[in-house]
Structure 1
């Protein structure tokens, strides 16, 4: 399988749901897995320290298990853009910091490793660098999670163009149904999916429907039923 960077068309597009689902699917095939979220804002203070629900979800789907600090080395409590949260705390990472923080986990060479970004492709990391720069520095193929709602065609196409403009491969995309009304008309819904397939010019790894409420682990397992692994024919 290898290592992939997971980005989304927007905040709350469903990156963690899809990433968790792909890791869960790999585990079902007896593969070793690792999910990393180097930078996360919107963390909760716990007796063990700041914890982010997305990072915890990725950790739950990582086999063999690793420590939380390996998954999410840069944690910020404010639920705002990561670079703003980092500035507020005075702990602002650089791309060099992230490359160093991910070096040892990537050396573990799991069957499938996913590095999840924050927000969309152009989310700033600091005043001079974008978080997407980590994927560029590591030369990683990218999985794009498309939040299926009105406006997603523009968001998805712009994201794909930006990924390719940065010299990276769009290894695949997955749709996550955010707005049920978007799929209310089956004909129009399929037409939108056809447009995504034609214009993104990358394999579709699956379409995740609206899932019933449950724990992050339960949702990841449910999402896995609607996904296929990257590179699988």
Structure 2
């Protein structure tokens, strides 16, 4: 059965999808059949009569086998707002059980690894009682943390790691993604993160710009995940 990794970030807009695609491509180059899963997405557009999210479409395109869009993204909402608010406005309920069923269906396919990408940061509300992290904990998924290198990232990274481990989950690795090319003292901040984070570093991705996105895979080291 396919092994699943959950990708979370220190915040929104830290490059989770960018890094997830790089991880998927690196895994494919290592001979793994991969699938991408985006359980919940807001900020979707109506395409061919179906609400679709650009991040989920990216994961679908990077997947090894062709599946219908809704299998990659069971909950899609039009407004680019917090998913639990978007769901309430659409008179819908985000069900952890339904998200789990979606993952189970993906595991039934002939793939080796599934990369499930979260939304926002670790403590993302799904409704008044549940967080997306509750689902990750229920599924016992190993977590990969994307650290967006910008002012405040050390605090955000360490707090997020504490929360993940408090939930009893394994941090399979982390990726440092330079999202701010003008970040002051980047090297010093990167060194502090590497010294403080007690988990395998899967990659340090420099600022690549839009034209360099396809080269991100070259900065990924999957060796710790292959053990």
**Shorter-chain TM-score: which interval?**
over 0.9
Could you state the TM-score of these two structures normalised by the residue count of structure 1? Answer: 0.92
Q: Which residue of 1 is the match for residue 61 of structure 2?
A: 60
Give me the whole-angstrom Cα distance separating, in 2, the residues matched to 1:96 and 1:128: 14
Aligned length: 225
SS of residue matched to 1:178: coil
Contact 1:94 1:129 in 2 (8 A): no
Given candidates 176, 184, 189, the residue that maps to 2:186 is 189
Kindly state the Cα deviation for residue 108 of structure 1 after the two structures are TM-superposed: 2.5
Could you state the TM-score of these two structures normalised by the residue count of structure 2? Answer: 0.94
Q: 2:209 aligned with 1:208, yes or no? A: no
Q: Which residue of 1 is the match for residue 220 of structure 2?
A: 227
- Higher mean alpha-carbon deviation, 200-209 vs 68-77, is at 200-209
Gap runs ≥5 in structure 1: none
SS of residue matched to 1:119: coil
Give me the whole-angstrom Cα distance separating, in 1, the residues matched to 2:152 and 2:137: 27
Gap runs ≥5 in structure 2: none
Kindly state the Cα deviation for residue 109 of structure 1 after the two structures are TM-superposed: 5.6
Q: 1:42 to 1:142 in 2, by over 3 A?
A: same
TM alignment of 1:67-78, pairs within 5 A: 67-78=68-79
- Higher mean alpha-carbon deviation, 77-86 vs 29-38, is at 29-38
After superposition, the CA RMSD in angstroms is 1.6
Q: 1:232 to 1:189 in 2, by over 3 A?
A: farther
TM alignment of 1:107-186, pairs within 5 A: 107-108=108-109, 110-182=111-183
Give me the whole-angstrom Cα distance separating, in 2, the residues matched to 1:30 and 1:160: 30
Q: 2:32 aligned with 1:38, yes or no? A: no
SS of residue matched to 2:66: coil
SS of residue matched to 1:120: coil
